[in-house]
Amino acid sequence: MSTVQELVQAVVDGEAADAVSATEKGLSEGIAADELLQDGLMEGMREVGRQFEDGEIYVPEMLVCAHAMKASLALLQPRLIETDVKSSGRIAVGTVEGDLHDIGKNLVVMMLQGSGFEVDDLGVDVYPERFVEAARSGADVIAMSALLTTTMTNMQRVVDAITDAGLRGSVRIVVGGAPITQTYCDEIGADGYAKTASSAVRMVKGVLGLAESADGRAATAN
């Protein structure tokens, strides 16, 4: 079994110690941190999601798998961060109301911080009012994450609340998370969408006019 497959297996089995040792082994073999993340951890989590969907495992098991993923991520974190690029801007990041998934959101926070942004991590289950407060306090970008099809609709409520507060012209709104698409982003009137945490950095720079957005798309700014 390859080291990346060992990492997948450790996440699927919810074995944090094995995840840590496979991560250490992978890094010492010269495997890129991003490859360990995408092909190891994310692949493992995809399988965990499948097992949950098929009723083979339940929420407690899923939590144990998330713990194993987090243990590995702690090791990958310093290597995933781009430390050479400095940019400016204040970003408020949160998982929307009703949604407790924070692993992807934490990755986005980590990547943005590593790229020189000042990040206000609003946490999970963030109500529209809290996002409005962050926009009023001078955030340049409101970044929302959602993992559930039942909570992604709360992104629209945040866009509407920011518009109703008269702040839409002064803040950019960006979205991401497994069920989110560019089409959904356009539908709710957000300024940017990124599929992954690392492309979120390029996309945020794009909407702030600091660089091109993810996937080479010209970012629109209201």
Residues that bind ligand B1M (CB under 6 A): 42, 45-46, 48-49, 52-53, 59, 62-63, 66, 98-105, 107-108, 143-145, 147-150, 174-179, 194, 196-197, 200
Pairing of strands 90-96, 141-145: parallel
Q: Compute the least distance from the CB of residue 201 to ligand B1M, in Å.
A: 9
Per-residue CA distances from 90 to 26, 112, 141, 143 (Å): 34, 10, 7, 11
Pairwise CA distance, residues 76 & 39, whole Å:
13
Length of the chain: 222
Which is closer to ligand B1M, CB of 10 or CB of 143? 143
Q: Compute the least distance from the CB of residue 6 to ligand B1M, in Å.
A: 18
Own/partner contacts of 80-83, CB < 8 Å, gap of 24 or more, are: 80/33, 80/34, 80/37, 80/107, 80/110, 80/111, 80/114, 80/198, 81/110, 81/111, 81/113, 81/114, 81/115, 82/111, 82/114, 82/115, 82/201, 83/114
Which is closer to ligand B1M, CB of 10 or CB of 107? 107
Which is closer to ligand B1M, CB of 137 or CB of 150? 150
- Residue 88 has a CB neighbour count (10 Å cut-off) of 10
Q: Compute the least distance from the CB of residue 73 to ligand B1M, in Å.
A: 8
Which is closer to ligand B1M, CB of 31 or CB of 141? 141
Is the sign of the CA dihedral 9, 15, 20, 22 positive or negative? negative
Which is closer to ligand B1M, CB of 26 or CB of 176? 176
Q: Compute the least distance from the CB of residue 52 to ligand B1M, in Å.
A: 5
Q: Compute the least distance from the CB of residue 97 to ligand B1M, in Å.
A: 10
Q: Compute the least distance from the CB of residue 27 to ligand B1M, in Å.
A: 18
Which is closer to ligand B1M, CB of 36 or CB of 144? 144
DSSP 177-214: STT--HHHHHHHT-SEE-SSHHHHHHHHHHHTTSS--G
